[in-house]
Amino acid sequence: MPAKILDGKLLAATMRADIAKQVAELKAAKGITPGLGVILIGADPASTSYVTAKEKACEEAGMYSEDVRVPAETTQAEALALVQKMNADPRIHGILVQLPLPKHIDEAAVINAIAPEKDVDGFTPINVGRMMIGETCFLPCTPNGVIQMLLSAGVETSGKHAVVIGRSNIVGKPVAHLLMRKAKGGNATVTVCHTGTKDLATFTKQADILVVAAGRPNTVTGEMIKPGAVVIDVGVNRVPDATKKNGFRLVGDVDFDSAAQVASLITPVPGGVGPMTITMLLYNTLESAQRLSAKG
Ligand code: NAP
């Protein structure tokens, strides 16, 4: 029996409508418009299209958005100055530095310069540390988007075996942490796989919930999945396709057709986790503005 589709686009639209309502309420009650500052260094086409999508989503939610696009030759000192300017700007409640940065810029130094109270991507060491010990923080957007999808679909995570493929700081590690933590959408027993894992299928076949964030098409195929499992495909890969106007199409890390024959629930690519990432960014920016308004 083919799997049901876990539609990230639909959930994202529902959540964004609720965020827009809360933005309007905050404006009316306190005169505060949540603001997102975005810094894009260079003109990488994928990064440019992500940033444009984020700005559009901000505007649709009624938020203020400030977009700083500078050339790839920007120096590290200039990049740090851009972050510091946004740190000091009261109209900006969340700062996003689009990654990757050009090679001559120390990515960690730029991320670490973001004020933790404006770190809506949840990438600074302070935010990561707070998440690990269960303090108030901004949850990283893609991992939290995965958890929100599971919750929305009524997937029970508690007591289940969740297998995560990937251990990056942006996806694999934080999603494993959120699935493990003692909270709603967590309390699972978690196994993390990576390129050092021998016989990946041994682990994936044990997964009640399989989260794949490897960055490689066909990392998981149908025969590697336990019948009835929930499969979340985080991967976004561009594969050449001469039939497309731009010469490529997007695929995930999971072979969708074979996996959908075995899983009970599966996310598509595109239209799965991707729209949720931007939604959680809006959510964190709203939360940042709400926290500020609660302070007085
Ligand atoms: P990354 O930094 O390249 O990390 C990939 C991880 O997968 C690494 O830990 C790597 O292991 C592991 N891995 C790669 N191939 C594997 C294999 N064959 N078997 C087992 N483990 C394997 O990538 P990322 O930033 O986490 O992103 C992962 C994917 O998600 C990418 O396709 C990216 O585009 C996508 N993504 C999507 C969104 C979204 O909004 N939908 C957001 C972020 C990322 P090692 O550590 O051993 O190298």
Ligand 1 binding pocket mutation candidate from 236, 255, 267 (most atoms within 8 A of CB): 236
Residue 176 has pLDDT above 70, yes or no: yes
**Sign of the C-alpha dihedral, residues 149, 155, 159, 161?**
negative
Whether residue 103 lies in the annotated active site: no
- 278 Cα nearest atom in ligand 1: 40
pLDDT in tens, 38-96: 999 999 988 999 999 999 999 999 999 999 999 999 999 999 999 999 999 999 999 99
Which residues touch 56 (CB under 8 Å, ≥6 apart)?
A: none
Confidence (pLDDT) at 1: 63
The C-alpha atoms of residue 277 and residue 273 are separated, in whole angstroms, by 7
CA distances from 43 to 47, 67, 74, 209, 227 (A): 7, 13, 12, 37, 43
Whether residue 54 lies in the annotated active site: yes
Average pLDDT over residues 206-214: 99
Among 158, 145, 146, smallest CA distance to 184 is for: 158
Whether residue 98 lies in the annotated active site: yes
User: In CATH, what is the architecture of 33-115?
Assistant: 3-Layer(aba) Sandwich (3.40)
CATH 3.40.50.720 fits domain 141-274? yes
Ranges of CATH 3.40.50.10860 domains, the chain: 33-115
Reported as a pLDDT band with limits 50, 70 and 90, residue 293 is confident
Q: How far is the CA of 165 from the centre of ligand 1 (A)?
A: 8
The C-alpha atoms of residue 168 and residue 143 are separated, in whole angstroms, by 11
CA distances from 40 to 9, 69, 84, 119, 222 (A): 25, 5, 15, 16, 38
pLDDT in tens, 246-262: 899 999 999 999 999 99
Count of CB atoms situated within 10 Å of the CB of 186? 17
pLDDT in tens, 141-162: 999 999 999 999 999 999 999 9
Ranges of CATH 3.40.50.720 domains, the chain: 141-274
Q: How far is the CA of 169 from the centre of ligand 1 (A)?
A: 10
Structure tokens at 287: 């939360």
